[in-house]
Amino acid sequence: MPHDESWFSFLPNYDALVALARRLNGEVSPDGLSWYAHQPVQIQHVLGLIFVVLVLLVFGLVTFSKIKNTQDAVVPEGKFSIRTFVELFTSYVYNQMSNMMGRKAAKFFLPLIGTCAFVIFFSNFLGLLPFFPVPTSNLNTTAALAIVIFFATHIFGVKEHGIAYFKHFLGPYLPLAPLMVVIEIISHLARPLTLAVRLMANMTADHLVLGIFIGLVPFVVPLPLYALGGIVVTVQTLVFCLLSTVYISMAIAHEGH
């Protein structure tokens, strides 16, 4: 398959979807180039993310059906299943968060960080499957996730401290406040940028290397690369979520804690 194609290219009315995306993207030329990036419009990452969301929806419904009876759900299943995977995954994310921000805050922010963890992990894992796109190898996807974390950090920081939240932008020494404000603003704006670019760059490189070796030697040789790819998928999910937890915990923390 061509680099910009996947199984989603066989969907009914796929060409109509591409044409619609081009119109919404502000296409100004017949070659399909966007007005701001001078690149052809791509929707594979969007379709990949929609597919991931649908899979997670199925996982959620299956898990809910297993645990809605709380008395029966107390005893874990004796085999690896969708419910077991979801419980282990959620438990690991929660434990990591509670170690960094405390149990109360971890319980409150688990829906946000946990959702990011599931979406990123499954999006990354999709790239290990032949002829599937990697939603997180596109900057639009990773930037959207990073921007959500960015706004959540400052919204809950203000909610926790009020206007006093912005006091730390001034620094500890008042005469240097103008300089510290500039430095702090640059630092905070760099956070979503680094979150988005790091995840996108690593997943793009991993998918590209795996695709090259599968194309050259499609059988035994790529197996170690699949194992390495599995590590990359997990580590990049962990890095994004841990850094997001750190940013939020720093925003809501009180002095002396």
- Domain ranges across the chain: 84-252
**Per mean pLDDT, which of 9-23, 28-42, 47-61 is the most reliable?**
47-61
Query: Which contiguous run of DSSP H or E holds residue 96?
Result: helix 82-101
User: What string of DSSP letters covers 133-165?
Assistant: --GGGSHHHHHHHHHHHHHHHHHHHHHHHGGGG
pLDDT at 248: 95
pLDDT at 242: 96
Q: How many helices (H) and strands (E) would you count in the chain? A: 8, 0
Cα separation values, 218 from 23, 56, 82, 212, 223, Å: 38, 30, 30, 9, 9
Nearest to 207 by CA among 230, 184, 241, 239: 230
Once rounded to an integer, what is the mean pLDDT over residues 129-149?
A: 91
Residue 188 has pLDDT above 50, yes or no: yes
Cα separation values, 225 from 1, 86, 139, 209, Å: 20, 26, 24, 8
Once rounded to an integer, what is the mean pLDDT over residues 14-20?
A: 81
Cα separation values, 34 from 22, 27, 41, 99, Å: 7, 5, 7, 45
Residue 130 has pLDDT above 50, yes or no: yes
Burial class (CB in 10 A: 0-12, 13-18, 19+), 68: exposed
Residue 251 has pLDDT above 80, yes or no: yes
Report whether 83 contacts 63 (CB < 8 A).
yes
Residue 58 has pLDDT above 80, yes or no: yes
CA separation for the pair 148, 152 (Å, rounded)? 6
Could you give the angle at which helices 103-126 and 44-67 cross, rounded to 10 degrees?
130
Helix (H, G, I), strand (E, B) or coil at 33: strand
CB atoms within 10 A of CB 16: 10
pLDDT at 245: 96
Nearest to 246 by CA among 41, 115, 106, 37: 106
CA separation for the pair 85, 108 (Å, rounded)? 22
pLDDT at 36: 45
pLDDT at 203: 92
CA separation for the pair 146, 69 (Å, rounded)? 36
Once rounded to an integer, what is the mean pLDDT over residues 67-74?
A: 74
CA separation for the pair 207, 129 (Å, rounded)? 10
Once rounded to an integer, what is the mean pLDDT over residues 223-227?
A: 77
- Comparing 1 with 49, the larger pLDDT belongs to 49
Res. 35 pLDDT band, cuts 50 70 90: very low
Residue 224 has pLDDT above 80, yes or no: no
Cα separation values, 28 from 14, 140, 146, 182, Å: 21, 21, 29, 38
Report whether 157 contacts 90 (CB < 8 A).
no
Residue 219 has pLDDT above 70, yes or no: no
Lowest mean pLDDT among 26-30, 102-106, 149-153, 174-178: 26-30
pLDDT at 136: 93
pLDDT at 38: 46
pLDDT at 29: 52
Res. 37 pLDDT band, cuts 50 70 90: very low
Q: What is the pLDDT of residues 75-125, one digit of tens each?
A: 777 788 899 999 999 999 999 999 999 999 999 999 999 999 999 999 999
